[in-house]
Amino acid sequence: MINLDDLKYDNGLIQAIAQDNDTKEVLMSAFMNREALEKTIETGIAHYWSRSRGKLWKKGESSGHMQTVKAIYIDCDMDAVLLMIEQEGGACHTGYRSCFYRNIEGDVIGKKVFDPEDVY
């Protein structure tokens, strides 16, 4: 087991990427502190650190769109983790399956899977 003390936290945080375990689509990118990573490992459900709210964030707690974690990978310099997940509903609070639903040209290329007004 990787020692969680060996991770390179920057202001207490590491990058966390969630990738769909089946389709390999990257669904979101967020941050974790050590507690969020511990909770994720313990429970098998993705937890992050919400920078905007300044607190631990169990993904899907209000929307029901939880992420079941199938594997966790860690990068070479130990400042990022990659979660292979099964996504309930959509990862994005705007209703899209992935948070990366636009290209840099500004076109919407993502798939809307729920109406945010129905779940928040």
> Which positions lie near a copy of itself, rule CB under 8 A?
1-2, 15, 17, 19, 23-26, 28-29, 41, 71-77, 80-82, 92-94, 96, 99-106, 109
Residue with tokens 């990738």: 19
Q: Nearer to a copy of itself by C-beta: 96 or 114?
A: 96
Q: Which is nearer to a copy of itself, 66 or 92 (CB)?
A: 92
User: Closest separation between CB of residue 46 and a copy of itself, Å?
Assistant: 13
List own/partner pairs for 48-54 with CB under 8 A and 24 or more apart: 48/16, 49/12, 49/13, 51/13
Strands 80-87 and 14-20: parallel
Dist. CA 90–CA 71, nearest whole Å: 19
Task: Provide the minimum distance between the beta carbon of 99 and a copy of itself in the complex, in angstroms, as a whole number.
Answer: 4
